[in-house]
Amino acid sequence: MELFNSAFGKNITFVRPAYFVINGFIGLPNMKSYYIFLFFLYIISVVGNTAVMAIIYLDHNLRTPKYVAVFNLAFVDLLGSSALVPKVIDIFLFNHNIIPYNDCLTFLFFCYSCLSMQSFNLVALSYDRLVAIIFPLHYQVKVTCRSMLTLITSFWIFAIVAALIAVGLLTRLSYCKSLVINSYFCDHGQIYRLACNDNFPNHVIGLFYPVLIFWLPLVFILLSYLYISYTLVKVATFQPGIKALKTCIAHLSLVVIYFTPLLITFTLMEKIHPNNRIINLSLTSVLPPMLNPIIYVLQTHEIKVSMKKLFKIFFKSKIRNFRSSNLSY
């Protein structure tokens, strides 16, 4: 971080605290039950996303560009919720709300990287649906596993670099007064507002990043579905149009679940009460990763077929092993 620690070529001493204090909810008693609720959602998320990743890995018929993106979405959900929830449980249920400075910045980096990647992954899935429906004859040429991997890799690089820049700019700040973060994790906006020196670059980042990471992806997704709807109304009859739209239901459900609380939080920004911000961001971090596997299992025909096939193979192998063990006796 030396690049960020020298301002305009001059040696400047930054006052960095040994730790921050994560405050959590303000003025609300008995909120430990809420964090226990988040923990149960996390357990369901771990089981569900691990199952989806295993199904896609085991079934060679799912080695398609769409399921490359679905696999990455499950991986991001698993990584993001695992970076957040265990630490939140440690902070609030075991009263370890004093977190070292470097640990706090690392915590922020992983949380924001995964939160950004969830948004970009929905863009990748939207692009897949757009090409599949608008250019069905060219889909296998335009969208390949390699191109989808390249797209997702570029999104990962962008998300990581963006998070590193945000963290790097935080290291230029001095903290002379309060060290209490009014959030449930090391929240970028809450941290830079505690600084006692010029935090204008951090303020710009705080305004610019939501546009780049949340608003623009949402605009792309909405425009893609408007174009899909317009094309289907124009060229398709009723039944084929409905059938094509059904392939988008799972993705649209994920978009609504993910973006709604984020838009509320980042639209209101400083106007939103810290308690409401905590609820919105925590549910965005935990609820979509928990619901995504359920939505894809219930609404995606290929995954349901794959699950049935894998279960049949599993039970046949169990019966075969049972019979062979009986014959050995």
Q: Note the pLDDT tens digit of each residue in 261-309.
A: 877 777 766 677 778 888 888 888 898 999 888 887 667 777 878 878 8
- Residue 2: the pLDDT is 45
Mean pLDDT, the chain, rounded, equals 86
Contact 221, 255 (CB under 8 A): yes
CA 10 to chain CA centroid, Å, is: 38
> Looking at the 3D structure of the chain, how many domains does it have?
1
Q: What is the pLDDT of residues 3-38, one digit of tens each?
A: 445 444 455 667 899 999 999 888 877 788 899 999
- Residue 329: the pLDDT is 53
| pLDDT band at 327; cut points 50, 70, 90 | low
Q: What is the pTM of this model?
A: 0.88
* Cβ neighbours for 107, distance < 8 A, ≥ 6 positions apart: 83, 87, 99, 185, 186
CATH of the domain at 177: 1.20.1070.10
- Residue 281: the pLDDT is 83
260's enclosing H/E stretch is helix 249-268
Range of the domain at 57: 19-304
List for the chain the helix, strand, coil content (%; round to 5): 75, 5, 20
Is pLDDT at 46 greater than 50 in this prediction? Answer: yes
208-225 average pLDDT score = 92
- Residue 269: the pLDDT is 64
SS3 assignment for 190-212? HHHCCCCCCCHHHHHHHHHHHHH
Q: What is the pLDDT of residues 150-168, one digit of tens each?
A: 999 999 999 999 999 999 9
* Cβ neighbours for 196, distance < 8 A, ≥ 6 positions apart: 15, 174, 175, 176, 177
| Residue 260 forms part of a structural domain | yes
* Cβ neighbours for 75, distance < 8 A, ≥ 6 positions apart: 49, 53
- Residue 144: the pLDDT is 95
| Residue 3 forms part of a structural domain | no
What share of the chain in percent tops pLDDT 70?
A: 88
What share of the chain in percent tops pLDDT 90?
A: 49
- Residue 295: the pLDDT is 82
Q: What is the pLDDT of residues 227-257, one digit of tens each?
A: 988 888 887 666 666 776 777 887 888 898 8
| Residue 313 forms part of a structural domain | no
Is pLDDT at 93 greater than 80 in this prediction? Answer: yes
137-141 average pLDDT score = 89
| The Cα angle at residue 233 between residues 227 and 236, in degrees rounded to 5 | 110
| Residue 324 forms part of a structural domain | no
206-226 average pLDDT score = 92
The larger pLDDT score, comparing residue 270 to residue 66, is at 66
| Residue 7 forms part of a structural domain | no
Which amino acid is residue 156, in one-letter code? W
| Residue 227 forms part of a structural domain | yes
| Residue 65 forms part of a structural domain | yes
| Residue 314 forms part of a structural domain | no
